[in-house]
Amino acid sequence: MKQNAGGSMEGYEAEYLDEIARQAGWNYEYHYDTWENCFELLKDGQIDLVFGAEYSKERERDFDFSAYSVGWELSVLYVREDNDMVFYEDYQSFDGIHVGILKNSYQADAFALFAAKKGFSYVPVEYGSTREAAKAIDEGKIDAMVTGSLSYQPHLKLVASFEQDPFYIMVTEGNRALLDPLNDALRKIKTTDPAFESRLYEKYYGDSSASVQPMFTRQEAEYVRNRPVLKVASKTDWEPYEYWNPQISQYSGVNILILQKIAEISGIQFEFKGVKAGQNSESILNSGEVDLIASVAPAQRLSRDRNRTAPYLNVPMIQAMNGNCLQKAQPERVALSQSWKFMEDFFLEQQGIKEIIWYKDTKECLKAVCRGKADVTLIDTFSASALQQNQWLNNLIISRGKETDVPISIAVSSKTDPVLTDVLNKCILLISQKEINHAYQTAQAQLLDVRKEQMKKQNLIAIPLILLLFVIGVWLLYLMHRKKLERALTLDLLTGSFNLQHFKIRAQKLLRENKGNSYYLVKLDVMHFKMVNQRYGTAIGDRLLVMIANCGKRYLRPWEVLARIGDDQFVALVTIETARKVLRNVDHIQQEFKEALQLDSDIIVKCGAYKIEDSDEPVSFMIDKATIAHRCVKQSPKKHYAVYNEKLSEQIQRENQIESEMEAALKNGEFQIYLQPQVELSTLHPCGAEALIRWVKPDGSRRLPDEFIPLFERNGFIEKLDLYVLEQICKWLGDRIRKNEQILPISVNQSRYLLNDTNYLSTVQNIIGRYGIPRHWIELEMTESLYLENMDHLLAVIERLHQLGLRLSIDDFGSGYSSLNLLGEIPADVLKLDRAFMKNCDHSGPKRLIVQKLVELARELHIKVICEGVETKQQEAFLQEIGCDAAQGFLYARPMPIGQFDQYLREQQRMGREQPDFLPANP
């Protein structure tokens, strides 16, 4: 943090504090001093807070910490850049060095533990600030310094990183008047803008020395120091990536610029050698004529192939597809330009393309797709942008998905030193997306200059002909664009069905001309269409939409009409006869979609209908009423359609009210965490708890979970709520760990939205890591219906969660269409029997037998069983008799707020019911 020319503070800390001030209504007065002095001033009450302090037990004796971290930092060891005695992770060379450390800093303690673990000794030299320690290195008074990775030290060399920890805001102990609004402000920042910290980090520390210096080992540094000039095979005609630039008489392009950046980072020199079309780069590499090939496909398993680097570039691609091929789950014939021939094995083996048809250039590929000679072509986005007005491209369906991107690596000759691959990989890691974008911009500008120069050399006699062609071209473009405009005004360009505006006109006309018919206005969409796009890609999603439109057209008669009005939403004006016909075949239609697209999860279409009584009623009103019925039917997993009535309208009004309040309620802390204990049946000691959510409004009134949870599961807000619960539970557990109080495993519900989010695993890791919670204390609950919906994808997520050390449970088992196969297929840690099993269990022999057999089966599979809804001692005795592990229900305790649960645990301890296995590991 520093003061700018205008007198304002700027930097990571300043911007973070400004946002806290905006939330809390604070103003600041800044004070500069050493860490040691700042702690003393804070302790004496002369300053109010310190930003960026790591937590330690010693500090907690005198200070309170914010409930939320305000960033993360690595502890690192630096030496002088010209130090030829100490290298990255060369621990023997660390022995006996003089190391500058900051007085009372967290890094000093962390480095002492690191040195003991790695077996080297050092001489600590204390300094009051990082600036003093850095100056001492420059003057040769010390050999190295320990600091945080966010301290920008561009003139020093990083040789070790040994700890990554969160840092907090620290206040005087017991200062609740400051700590409470601080925690509230931080909670609001983290819930309303989860990317706030990462944006600040990239803005202020994206170019820190810890992220732009290659961390070479001794062997790698010696190789770089004694390097020869490396010869690199480069293509002469692959624009804009690699090509010969006659203007500057050297090779140019995106790849060349990135390789030059690698040379700048490493100090290695590259000399480029041209490879013409048809020449085999691999044979040139194997013959020893060159040391590297600038562009090859990456190895499928990099760790097993020392002759390939990690990808340094992902070339973004688009798919241009013939509309007739949308019914195919996987296009079979792919047209590719000859410029991609060197990646043939990659396309066939790693992208699963069945047949490649090679053409001279991109334009020929487009022609082939339009004429039906190929199903699809892949075009890099640079070439696509240059062909925006191409008639062939404009006649195709365009889609973009990351799964079609092409990674580019460097091939390394087996005759070079094996260490070269490691050197190149470390440099590739340091190339930012910003630098890659700059390479694209520079390459495009260079290529434009080349084109201008070529045009200047054209014969001036061609100018009149060019002008004539230009006039003709403008006229043709006008005619073409007029046709496109007319089409855009009436049709949805993806599906070819009408758009909303034209649907209203067409529907009103049909109603006016066919007053004798009984019409329905129907609205429909695909359940969880967002997940289809996320899991299978937008290309599959687009094909599904086209199939729905085509299916609708198949059933419609001349006096009926269909339109796509947005995303996966369609509306149709149909007679009662057509509506009945479609509903009779809906299961067959959905199965047809699933099989055609080769999906492993079901396609479910939901419809809302409004029976039209007044044909003069505005069509927009009819759509609104069909929408109300549509929203209601999405609540029921078993119903395909609903018809509008006044009761549905009242229900939607209630839901609209809830949706209008939900964001503010989360921001203002109206969603409160309740915990319901779980009891070990062999000892009747508490062995865990389930986290539940309650909505308590400012006036003390409550909304029941059944009122808002199903709605949140439909509109996606459950994703935010589930992560909020997880964060609050981790915060609570972290507080108890720091106070050395008893903790129990807590189970937290997770929704289908979260599990289909590609960032889910990293989000969970970050939340748990932020509070330093051992991961086995968190149990993630997933309902049995969720497992049945999307088995393959879920199994992959579960496997990764288990690798992270988290526990998984099947919740509400038996509430739906449970399958015993589920227990054999899913590696769950806990099975929670639904409360329905306990209802009338005392008087139902079959129910008791089912529960007994489920417990026995789970025991054989080494799955812990918790029975929910236990309310009587008779039920408890039965569960103990059959060997059930644990129980949960009103017999033991109702769900209670966290503060009350703390008191519950203290009472259990006083009664001698604490569970030794669930005490914190630290002394």
What would the DSSP string read from start to end of 720-772? HHHHHHHHHHHHHHHHHHHTT-----EEEE--HHHHT-TTHHHHHHHHHHHTT
Say if residues 137 and 99 touch (Cβ distance below 8 Å).
no
Distance between CA atoms of residues 519 and 399, nearest Å: 36
Cis peptide before 240 (omega within 30 of 0): yes
Residues whose CB falls within 8 Å of the CB of residue 638, separated by 6 or more in sequence, listed in order? none
Please state the pTM of the whole predicted model. 0.47
- Beta-carbon-side half-sphere exposure of residue 537 (alpha carbons within 13 Å): 15
> For 350-359, b where at least 16 C-beta lie within 10 A, e where not — what string?
eeebeebbeb
- Beta-carbon-side half-sphere exposure of residue 570 (alpha carbons within 13 Å): 31
CA angle 22, 23, 24 (to 5 degrees): 95
Q: Where are the beta strands (DSSP E) in 81-193?
A: 97-102, 122-127, 144-148, 156-172
Token pair 């037990």 in the structure block, residue: 57
* Helix residue spans in 616-716 (DSSP H): 619-633, 646-667, 705-715
Distance between CA atoms of residues 305 and 58, nearest Å: 49
Per 3-state DSSP, the chain is made up of helix, strand and coil in percentages (nearest 5) of 45, 20, 30
Q: Where are the beta strands (DSSP E) in 151-214?
A: 156-172
Distance between CA atoms of residues 909 and 180, nearest Å: 29
pLDDT value for 920: 39
Say what the alpha-carbon torsion angle 399, 193, 701, 661 is, to the nearest 10 degrees. -40
Token pair 């599990």 in the structure block, residue: 755
Report the residue count for the chain: 923
Bridge-based pairing of strands 333-337 and 376-380 is: parallel
pLDDT along the chain (923 residues), means of 10: 72 91 90 84 92 85 89 87 86 93 83 89 92 92 90 82 83 91 88 75 64 77 84 90 88 93 90 80 86 83 59 86 63 87 83 86 88 88 67 64 77 89 87 84 84 66 52 49 52 81 88 89 88 79 88 87 90 91 85 85 88 88 87 73 82 83 91 95 93 93 89 85 94 90 91 77 87 88 66 77 87 64 77 86 79 90 92 93 94 94 90 53 34
pLDDT value for 921: 35
50: its two tokens = 């310190």
SS3 of residue 330 by DSSP:
coil
Say what the alpha-carbon torsion angle 449, 450, 453, 455 is, to the nearest 10 degrees. -110
Residue 885 neighbours by CB distance under 10 Å: 20
For the residues of 234-254, what is the DSSP string, one character each?
EESEETTTEEEETTTTEEESH
Say if residues 68 and 204 touch (Cβ distance below 8 Å).
no
pLDDT value for 610: 92
Distance between CA atoms of residues 230 and 878, nearest Å: 77
Residues whose CB falls within 8 Å of the CB of residue 91, separated by 6 or more in sequence, listed in order? 118, 119, 120
Say if residues 779 and 748 touch (Cβ distance below 8 Å).
yes
SS3 of residue 632 by DSSP:
helix
pLDDT value for 706: 86
Residue 608: phi and psi, rounded to 5, are -120, 135
Say if residues 11 and 1 touch (Cβ distance below 8 Å).
yes
pLDDT value for 461: 47
pLDDT value for 522: 94
